[in-house]
């Protein structure tokens, strides 16, 4: 290192005005940014609420709530940091060999979709509306055996596959659903009214201030948001975060990261996210430590581009 440090001041000098150059550059950038901002604006399309999904796709809404109730949703079986899965079944655990840092911290952001997305909001609704039928349905469901609950859930799940929406009302084939049909109908009503968001947000915040939107976001995180994201071409496998919903440029600087999601094993492994995160971490370390990596730190010398950049200097010294 530094075996021959040449002093830039020992080279021939020319006039330079740092302040003037900085000011001119700032003026150019301000003008450029203001013009572009006025012409193209910035992308924005409103967030999707569970009220919108309840109104536009009632069957999907009820399926989402039912999956949370019977432990079939992705969040119910997610595992740390949200929960310990559903009856011991964890589907979203990521590990590279024995390395599973996701689980190191336990479950600091606890969400049990059975209670968070269905039972607690419905209990609030029953209390708020003095709805004794709903209260009774919740009590019946809670006191039923797990096998009985599963039978009702399964029957209603099968029925939803054949359900239709006629004139804004859901028509579900006749069957043995116990209290589940009423529970789902009321959950849907709550969703349509917009109150479900309030109930979910209340769960992840202590009291009045609503800064943590975790449960509200997670209610829709599966099929409802995925269907919309797919239609807007922003799924992970569609280069997701790399581009915005519209033609405006997105965060293109994430291209190396997004690229990983297009190739195996990242897009095939269940631990793809963990692998992508660490791969990018290693790439960043290479960039960071480039001056110290033998071979790589001599690369610019081998490539001829520096001759173009300093062509005036080399011409001068011929």
Nearer of residues 151 and 269 to another protein, judged by Cβ: 269
Strands 164-166 and 169-171, bridge-based pairing: antiparallel
Q: How far is the CB of 165 from another protein (least distance, A)?
A: 24
The interface with another protein within residues 48-67 (CB under 8 A) comprises 48
Q: Closer CB to another protein, residue 84 or residue 189? A: 84
Binding to another protein (CB under 8 A) within 75-134 occurs at 80-81, 92, 94, 101-102, 104-105, 108-109
Run of H or E including 169: strand 169-171
Q: Is 224 exposed, middle or buried (0-12, 13-18, 19+ CB in 10 A)?
A: buried
Residues numbered 1 to 30 that lie near another protein (CB under 8 A) are 1-9, 11-19, 21-22, 25-26, 28-30
- From CA 85, how far away is CA 110, in angstroms rounded? 11
**Candidate segments 120-128, 147-155, 187-195, 240-248, binder of another protein by CB under 8 A:** 240-248
- Are the CB atoms for 264 and 270 separated by under 8 Å? no
Is residue 36 involved in binding another protein (CB under 8 A)?
yes
* Residue from 64, 48, 68, 54 nearest 225 by CA: 48
Q: In terms of Cα–Cα distance, which of 304, 283, 303, 307 is closest to 295?
A: 303
Q: What angle do CA 257, 106, 278 make, to 5 degrees?
A: 20
Taking residues 264 to 303 in sequence order and writing x for each that binds another protein by CB under 8 A, - otherwise, the string is: -------x-xx-xxx--x--x--xxxxxx----xx-xx-x
User: Which residue in the set 71, 113, 179, 236 belongs to the binding site for another protein (CB under 8 A)?
Assistant: 236
Cβ neighbours of 52 (radius 10 Å): 18
Stretch that binds another protein, among 63-71, 118-126, 134-142, 234-242 (CB under 8 A): 234-242
Q: Which of 67, 181, 218, 258 binds another protein (CB under 8 A)?
A: 218
């Amino acid at each position: 290192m530094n075996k021959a440090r040449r002093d830039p001041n020992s080279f021939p000098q020319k006039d330079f005005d740092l302040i003037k150059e900085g000011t001119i550059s700032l003026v150019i950038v301000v003008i450029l940014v203001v013009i572009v901002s006025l012409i193209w604006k910035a992308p924005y399309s409103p967030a999707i609420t569970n009220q919108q999904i309840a109104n536009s796709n009632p069957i999907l809404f009820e399926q989402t709530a039912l999956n949370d109730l019977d432990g079939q949703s992705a969040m119910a079986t997610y595992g740390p940091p949200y929960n310990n899965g559903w009856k011991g079944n964890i589907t979203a655990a990521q590990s590279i060999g024995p390395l599973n840092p996701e689980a190191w911290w336990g479950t600091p952001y606890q969400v049990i979709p059975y209670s968070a997305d269905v039972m607690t909001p419905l209990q609030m609704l029953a209390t708020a509306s003095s709805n004794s039928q709903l209260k009774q349905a919740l009590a019946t469901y809670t006191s039923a055996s797990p096998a009985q609950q599963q039978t009702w859930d399964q029957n209603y799940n099968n029925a939803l596959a054949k359900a239709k929406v006629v004139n804004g009302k859901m028509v579900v084939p006749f069957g043995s659903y116990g209290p589940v049909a009423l529970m789902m109908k009321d959950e849907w009503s709550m969703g349509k009214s917009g109150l479900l968001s309030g109930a979910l947000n209340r769960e992840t915040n202590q009291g009045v201030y609503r800064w943590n939107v975790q449960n509200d976001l997670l209610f829709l995180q599966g099929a409802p948001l995925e269907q919309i994201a797919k239609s807007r071409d922003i799924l992970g496998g569609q280069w997701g975060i790399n581009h915005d919903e519209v033609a405006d440029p997105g965060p293109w600087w994430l291209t190396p990261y997004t690229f990983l999601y297009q190739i195996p094993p990242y897009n095939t492994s269940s631990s793809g996210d963990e692998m992508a995160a660490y791969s990018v971490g290693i790439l960043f370390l290479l960039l960071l430590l480039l001056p110290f990596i033998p071979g790589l730190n001599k690369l610019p010398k081998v490539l001829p581009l520096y001759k173009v950049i300093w062509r005036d200097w080399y011409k001068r010294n011929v």
